[in-house]
A and B are shown apart, each in its own frame.
Chain A
Amino acid sequence: MNQPQPQSQPQPRPQPPLRPNSRWSALTTSPHFVYVLIAPLFLILLAYVVYPFFQTFLQSIKQEGSFSLHNYSRFFSLEHTANLEALWTSVYISVLSVVTCGIVGVSMAFLLERYDFPGRKLLSVLVLVPMALPPLIGVLSFEFLYGSSGIIPRGLQHLLHLEKPPFTLKGIWGVLVVHTFTMYTYFYMTASSAIKGLDPSLEEAAANLGANRFTIWRRVILPMLTPAIVAASLLVFMISMASYTAPLIFGIERTMTMQIYLSRTNGDLDMAATQSTLLSIVSVLFLILMRWYQGARNYQNMSKGVSVHRTEVKSRAGRNVSMVLSFLGVLVLMLPILVIVLLAFSEDGKWTTQVLPPSYTLDHFKDLFTDSKTWRPIANSFKISIAATIGNLLFGVAAAYAIVRMRFKGKTLLDILIMLPWALPGTVVAVNLITAFSEPNAFSFGQVLIGTFWILPLAYFVRHLPLIFRSTSSTLMQTDRSVEEAARNLGASWWYTFRRVVFPMALSGILAGTLLALVEGIGEFVASILLYTNKTTPISVEIFQRMYAFEFGTACAYGVLQIVMIILVLYVSRKLTGGNAGSAI
């Protein structure tokens, strides 16, 4: 009986037909069943990402109901060059931002990772402070500090008894400085993780082969850092192109985002659609370029536990210089937050020509939570954010699970569609939603959403689509698939497995993403300013309006609230994920 078995047995055995256990199991074991499960994900993306995008595109190529490229010829016309100027300004601001952010970020990374000097520890914590600034508050703090009536220029003027302030931050310089301050962290983070990953033995090997310090830099270190630097450059370029708040505050009207805003407020919706489409194309191209580049090159050292040895600054002069520079660095990094906190205690309307606000009060903070007028924006922001985050949570976890664990065609498409809203400038997201939902349609359940509360959660949902998805999928990827199989093998149904095994194991990632989405929602400004109504004003828009009413104190009190929440969330999610938060980068 135990004879060796040749692979083809001659006698044909009648093979009974496969009898499925039940109709339901026939359905669920079908290889096509997975498409039933992922269909809702695609439907949501279709309704709220693709369809609005497409509507905007349609509007841009339609002129009174028929196809026309009139809008595009208007955009590129040489008679009214406002648009072309805006495109040019946006591009050159972005390029300059990349350069300045790159210089600051990479040199910070090198200083902090490679040298040991007094104040290094403090500086390496504070170096990430710019991330704790909500977009609008970040720009405002620079205006307060270094603007034409800013504290520093005026202080120096008083101190040195000058006729007028020695310098003020305004115009394109203002935008550039703010961009550098808020975006160098992208360079810093990618570069410092690349430097951490650099195996010191590589340098030792190069030295052993006879290379001098300069050659090692040129031939070993810089090439190894190139992928990190290129990735950060693309990212910063993309974010600069989408930047809206800085040009708004520093009054640079000739940028793409500002032009969209102006076209929209002037009622030239066709032009707004055209500008949005063009800006989207640039952003999407950069997204694709970035993904391609990340896939194409990866020098990340896989060896773990490499210890970077820091060179200690030993000479007395060197120590003193580094001490002074660290102190200045700490000061520059902390000042924006300090000034917001200080102003939050100043009385509204009293600060005119003095260096510092003359009188202080605690009332703004009391009012925030007691006065129904000042409380309303906070309630609005929370309501909008929570509604949007619930949507993000359901969508993000489902999509992450589908992409990491299931096998189906169209996975790359799903991935790209989820990342798309992140590449789109907030202004564009808002314009897309306006074009799509100013008339009732199936995706809005037959309602006009513009002018209602629900357009805002929808916008936040779309803007923050990738956050929970990314953090969840990165934790899911770290967990072993066979653990799920073990649960199934022990008799657990799919849903029981998801509840008892998948969800608890991914919980840290899910929670980190959820908190991030929530707090991003609380700070959201760019899309809100185009979509809010008087009843649904969120915090950031309220800050903007208070600023124009010269109620700096109240504005900054809101800002402090935002900052506190962000710092809290950053701290908690660092604890949750052990510092490897799957960020949206």
Chain B
Amino acid sequence: MIGVTLDRVSKTFGGAKGVEDVDVHIKPGEFFTFLGPSGCGKTTTLRMIAGFYYPSGGRILFGEQNVTNMPPNKRNTGMVFQNYALFPHMTVFENIAFGLQVRKQGKAEIREKVTRAQKLVHLDGYGERRIDQLSGGQQQRVALARALVIEPNILLLDEPLSNLDAKLRDETRQEIKRLQLELGITTIYVTHDQSEAMSMSDRIMVMKDGVVQQIGAPLEIYNRPANRFVASFIGETNLWEGTVERVEGGQADVRIAPDVLLTGLAANASPACKLAAGQKVTLSVRPEAIREAGPSERGAANTLSVKVRLSEFTGVSVNVIAEAGPLSVKALFVGQGQRMREPGEDMRLAVAPESIYFLE
């Protein structure tokens, strides 16, 4: 087990910037995810760790060792590529054995290790198959076995699930997590799928346009997003702009529409957000934190009347998109007994103060 440090790493391609000033320490044994939309620099960062790109600035350390300009074949990382990159002219066995042959290990040893790796990914008995005789999921597992069999210091996964269909993706996701926990290997995972990132990672680094937006545990990133981008990229959220009217006793009142005043806890604010009277701020409220107000709450604090525009039933929940004057409100009601709402129907919604998060 070994940690990875990116010490203010940047990469430019010609004039275009790829990644700017990435500064992070990945702990030994951690499952760490780079998350972001396509073109955000997550794959570039991963490829610098693998050694396919050399940084334009900064250092990369494996443990204490500086590997910034080390060629990829000396790094002992195991990488699973997005399209698997299996050798089409070799069998499953030969693919998995490749890295061991490079390391000049004995025939018997290779056979034993490959067999064990095949078992690990549930591909025993597939050794003599050609790559084109495998399904997508099986190919994925060969790629995983090939990366793991060399006992790498670090496992690198570049969107390994994106070529699988939805059901297989869930299975494989659990499989990868299981292997990672079993082997305790430091793992860096690249994805654009936030639910994948949330469910698997110890920590997530959210990136956009080559710049790190936030680093933190999934819960933290979900509940305390650093900025509007993180708030809207991770899960669904309502973003309402308003003006702070009063900050007192650990509470902040913000007017988001002429007739809507919401009160939240002042502690629930991103560090960049200054809560002071007259300040413009953005409120982030998750749809699932909004509930229907009871008849007794008419006119109570933190409620708003809305007109339903659209409602949809997903099985787990009823999602409602509604309007409160100029505001658009997304709400999600989970549980039995929910009914579909008709467009044009009036509703009263309530927002709990502790579910409001202030952004700059």
Closest-CB distance, A106 to chain B (whole angstroms): 37
Which of B119-127, B190-198, B215-223 is the contact stretch?
A: B215-223
Query: Within 8 Å of chain B (Cβ to Cβ): is A534?
Result: no
Instruction: Decide yes or no whether A488 CB sits under 8 A from chain B.
Output: yes
Contact yes or no, B20 A485, CB < 8 A: no
- A505 CB contacts on chain B under 8 angstroms: 87-89
**Segment at the A interface, from B28-36, B69-77, B240-248, B307-315:** B69-77
Contact check: which of B146, B230, B270 meets A490 at CB < 8 Å? B146
Q: Does B50 contact A (CB under 8 A)?
A: yes
Q: Is B1 an interface residue (CB 8 A)?
A: no
Size of the chain B interface, CB-CB below 8 angstroms = 56
| Contact between B59 and A504, CB atoms less than 8 A apart | no
A26 with B69, Cβ < 8 A, contacts A480-B83, A504-B89 known = yes
Is B150 interfacial (CB-CB < 8 Å)? yes
Q: Which of A11-19, A246-254, A278-286, A523-531 contacts B (4 or more CB under 8 A)?
A: A11-19
Task: Tell me the B142-167 residues at the A interface (CB within 8 Å).
Answer: 143, 146-147, 150, 156
Is chain A's binding surface mostly helix, strand, loop or mixed?
A: loop
> What B residues does A501 contact at CB under 8 A?
87
Question: CB within 8 Å of B: which of A518-577?
Answer: none
- Do A489 and B50 touch (CB < 8 A)? yes
Q: Give bound CA distance, A480 to B88, whole Å.
A: 10
Whether B79 contacts A486 by the Cβ 8 Å rule is: yes
The interface residues of chain B lying within 8 Å CB-to-CB of A25 are 69-71
B87 touches A4 (CB 8 A): no
- CB contact under 8 A between A29 and B217, given known A485-B81, A489-B79, A491-B150: no
Q: A residues within 8 A CB of B297? A: none
**What's the Cα separation between A134 and B359 when bound, in Å?**
78
Q: Which residue of B lies closest to A501 (CB)?
A: B87
Centre residue among A29, A486, A504 by max chain B CB count within 10 A: A486
A-side contacts of B88, CB under 8 Å? 479, 483, 505
Chain A, 1-37, contact with B by CB distance < 8 Å: what is the 0/1 string? 0111111110001011011110001101100000000
Q: Are A491 and B102 in contact (CB under 8 A)?
A: yes
0/1 interface trace, chain A 475-498, chain B, CB 8 Å (1 if under):
000011011011111111110110
Does A500 belong to the interface (CB within 8 Å)?
yes
> What residues of chain A lie closer than 8 Å to B83, measured between beta carbons?
480, 482
**Would A18 and B68 be within 8 Å (CB), given that A5-B23, A492-B102 are in contact?**
yes
Q: Is B211 engaged at the interface, CB distance under 8 Å to the other chain?
A: yes
Residues 230-286 of B at the A interface (beta carbon under 8 Å): 230, 270-272
Q: Chain B: which residue is nearest A493 at the CB level?
A: B73
Known: A483-B85, A491-B150, A496-B102. A7 touches B72 (CB 8 A): no
Cβ A500 vs Cβ B98 within 8 A: yes
| 8 Å CB interface, B61-100 against A | 66, 68-79, 81-83, 85-89, 98-99
Q: Which residues of A contact B226 (CB under 8 A)?
A: 4-5
- In the complex, the chain A residue whose C-beta lies closest to that of B149 is A490
Contacting pair A487 B69 (CB below 8 A): no
| Count of CB-CB pairs between chains A and B under 8 Å | 119
Confirm or deny: B21 has a beta carbon within 8 angstroms of a beta carbon on chain A: yes
Contact between chains at A19 and B23 (CB < 8 Å): no
A residues near B146, Cβ cutoff 8 Å: 486, 490
| Interface residue from A5, A8, A26, A486 paired with B81 (Cβ < 8 Å) | A486
> Is the Cβ of A21 less than 8 Å from the Cβ of B70?
yes
Q: Is B330 an interface residue (CB 8 A)?
A: no
Do residues A29 and B69 form an inter-chain contact, with CB atoms below 8 A?
Answer: yes
Q: Which of B69, B78, B211, B212 contacts A489 (CB 8 A)?
A: B78
CB of B42 within 8 Å of the partner chain: no
B303 at the interface (CB under 8 A from A): no
User: Across the two chains, which residue of chain B brings its CB closest to A491?
Assistant: B102
Q: Contact between A4 and B99 (Cβ–Cβ < 8 Å)?
A: no
Q: Verify A488–B213 contact, CB threshold 8 A.
A: no
> Which residues of the other chain, A, contact B81 by a CB distance below 8 angstroms?
482, 485-486
In the complex, what residue of chain B is closest to A13 when comparing beta carbons?
B8
Across-interface contacts of B58 in A (CB, < 8 A)? 15
Contacts of A486 in B (CB 8 A): 79, 81, 85-87, 143, 146
Say yes or no: is B54 at the interface (Cβ < 8 Å to chain A).
Answer: yes
Whether B76 lies near A491 (C-beta < 8 A) is yes
Most buried by B among A26, A485, A489, A501: A489
Are A18 and B59 closer than 8 Å at their CB atoms?
A: yes
Docked pose: A152 CA to B72 CA in angstroms: 69
Residues of A396-435 contacting chain B, CB below 8 A: none
**Smallest Cβ distance from B199 to chain A, in angstroms?**
19
Question: Nearest CB to that of A25 among chain B residues?
Answer: B69
Least Cβ distance of A578 to chain B in Å? Answer: 13
Chain A residues lying within 8 Å of B103, measured Cβ to Cβ, are: 491
Residues in A with CB closer than 8 Å to B20 are: 7
**How far, in whole Å, are A364 and B262 apart by their CA atoms in the complex?**
105
- For residue A2, which residues in chain B have a CB less than 8 angstroms away from its CB? 203, 215-217, 220
B residues near A20, Cβ cutoff 8 Å: 69
Q: A29-51: which residues lie under 8 A (CB-CB) from chain B?
A: 29
> Contacts of A488 on B, CB cut-off 8 Å?
51-52, 71-73
Chain A residues whose CB sits within 8 angstroms of the CB of B212 once the complex forms: 5, 7
**Extra contacts besides A18-B69, A489-B51, A490-B146 (19): CB < 8 Å:** A4-B216, A5-B23, A6-B272, A7-B20, A7-B211, A8-B21, A18-B59, A20-B69, A21-B70, A25-B70, A29-B69, A485-B52, A486-B79, A486-B86, A488-B51, A489-B78, A492-B99, A505-B87, A505-B89
Q: Give 12 CB contacts A-B under 8 Å.
A: A4-B216, A4-B226, A8-B21, A15-B59, A482-B81, A483-B87, A489-B73, A489-B75, A489-B78, A489-B156, A491-B103, A492-B98
Task: Give chain B's interface residues, CB within 8 Å of chain A.
Answer: 7-8, 20-21, 23, 50-52, 54, 58-59, 66, 68-79, 81-83, 85-89, 98-99, 102-103, 143, 146-147, 150, 156, 203, 211-217, 220, 226-227, 230, 270-272
Q: Which 10 A-B pairs have the closest CB atoms?
A: A4-B226, A490-B99, A482-B85, A486-B85, A2-B216, A488-B72, A489-B79, A491-B102, A483-B85, A4-B214
